[in-house]
Amino acid sequence: MACLRLVLGDQLSRELSALRDLAEGDIVFMCEVADEANYVRHHQRKIAFLFSAMRHFAGDLRGRGVTVDYVTLDDEANTGSFTDELKRAVARHGPTSVVVTEPGEWRVLQMMKDWRETLDVEVEIRPDDRFLCDHGTFDAWAEGRKELRMEYFYREMRRRTGFLMEGDEPVEGKWNFDHQNREPLKARITPPERPTYAVDATTRDVLDLVRSRFGNHFGTLDDFDYPVTRRQALHYLRWFLNEAMPEFGTYQDAMRQGSPLLFHSHISALINCGLLDPREVCDRAEDVYREGNAPINAVEGFIRQIIGWREFIRGVYWREMPDYAASNALDARRKLPDFFWTGDTELNCLRQSIAEVRASAYNHHIQRLMVIGNFCLLAGFDPAEVQEWYLTVYHDAYEWVEMPNVVGMILYADGGLFASKPYAASANYIDKMSDYCGHCVYSPKTKTGEGACPFNLLYWDFIARNRARLKGNPRLNRTYATLDRMNEDKVATARREARAFLDGLVATGDY
């Protein structure tokens, strides 16, 4: 009798554990369901990317002789839910068992566990071993630690994987070269021209479907040119390693108006959906270093994001759920303003970043953390609303990666579980790392009064209003010492102007 093997939209890997022992007569089941497209109002481009990648992956399996049962969103019989579609598939095929790979989200895992009770067939949930650190290994590492620090986890992952190691020591004698990765982009530096990918008939059908069903969601589908197949993903990776990797490290924190990608790989969505495997990406990146075609600061920083940060964040998510979602250690309650959806703001750094994510469903990590995220932290926006926004707008966002980044790294809402201090910054940081401020009505040099950048006002308001919660943090000792030396009237003015700015933000909740 046949085995039914369910593949989710972020599991588009031939090496998926659910497919590893695929036998003749087994059936691969895939479905596009409205519940998953709508549980937050995902960016149109994210939905289109995943549906197209899913359909191409199904076609690839069929080309290798695999029987695939694929239910499209516009199938008239589509019930719109994973559970009901799986029940229909079981009724169609009468399998001896259903095999799945564990999902990336807590709510979906609970759904899968329920299938064991509601389906009249055995359900086997296999580990997702595309990740380099399983749950047990992460939990063992984290056990007994008062604070979780990615740097120490990363070093252990270097030892475990052997990436960029010479025996027991890191190559070139250091674990981390991040101090070489913080240069602003010089005007004479021009990023390389990036490859694009033509829309084929499959993707064209998906784009038409998304326009008709999700045209009122955030974002646009204009000029869709992102990789949607394994072959295209590998080509994109090769381009990055050969053309952009050499300068990636030095300028990875830089921002330039009109150049959203710079030297970034832009492959996070391809890894997170399964078209690229993190091991192969790191293997190929290390080869570039070993062959002398990219410097250590670029390759180490890139590999750290994958085997360090990506694996660490996943470990935190599964260890801390389900309560982690409700974290709000700073008691932030302000509603997210409408301009996060429209981009209609005089703050040029935010206007640029929101316009870019609206067009492409992507920002690089400094825009996410130090522009958009920093503003959310300083303004005191509700963590639940910020989480939903990040999950909605980015095409690489799934709850396992989005939630800890927002809750722990961006908003310090978990009270410092893994971030040693809040990533709060005034306008000076954005001015140093970008050309945004030169095109803005506000001045990063003006602290209060007419033309003062709201980031300056909000920074000191954030520090002052959170004194009781944060003053004991040793990494903020100098900050609070500075606050205590500041003229009381100056602090009061900054706080009064900060409140006036925040009270002037429109938050209708209509978007």
Domain ranges of the chain: 3-126, 135-194+228-320, 339-503
Mean pLDDT for 308-334 is 97
Going by C-alpha positions, the residue among 17, 206, 253, 292 that lies closest to residue 130 is: 17
Q: Give the chain's mean pLDDT.
A: 97
What percentage of the chain carries pLDDT values higher than 90?
Answer: 97
Contacts of 488 (CB under 8 A, 6+ apart): none
For the chain, report the end-to-end CA distance as a whole number of angstroms: 49
What's at 105, amino acid-wise? E
Going by C-alpha positions, the residue among 235, 207, 234, 242 that lies closest to residue 223 is: 207
Question: Exposure string (b/e) for 104-119, b if CB count within 10 Å is 16 or more?
Answer: bbbebbebbeebeeeb
Q: What is the pLDDT of residues 377-400, one digit of tens each?
A: 999 999 999 999 999 999 999 999
CATH 3.40.50.620 assigned to domain 3-126? The reply is yes
Q: What is the pLDDT of residues 109-162, one digit of tens each?
A: 999 999 999 999 999 999 999 999 999 999 999 999 988 999 999 999 999 999
What percentage of the chain carries pLDDT values higher than 70?
Answer: 100
Q: In the CATH hierarchy, which fold is given to the domain comprising 339-503?
A: DNA Cyclobutane Dipyrimidine Photolyase, subunit A; domain 3 (1.10.579)
Q: What is the pLDDT of residues 435-456, one digit of tens each?
A: 999 999 999 999 999 999 999 9
User: Looking at residue 33, what is its pLDDT?
Assistant: 96
Q: What is the pLDDT of residues 236-288, one digit of tens each?
A: 999 999 999 999 999 999 999 999 999 999 999 999 999 999 999 999 999 99
Query: Would you say residue 40 has pLDDT above 70?
Result: yes
Please give the distance of CA 271 from its chain centroid, rounded to a whole number: 11
Q: What is the pLDDT of residues 163-201, one digit of tens each?
A: 999 999 999 999 999 999 999 999 899 999 999 999 999
Mean pLDDT for 400-411 is 98
pTM for the model: 0.97
Task: Report CA-CA distances (Å) from 204 to 52, 208, 219, 287.
Answer: 9, 6, 17, 36
Q: In the CATH hierarchy, which fold is given to the domain comprising 135-194+228-320?
A: 1.25.40
Query: Would you say residue 1 has pLDDT above 80?
Result: no
Strands (E), 155-281: 165-166, 169-170
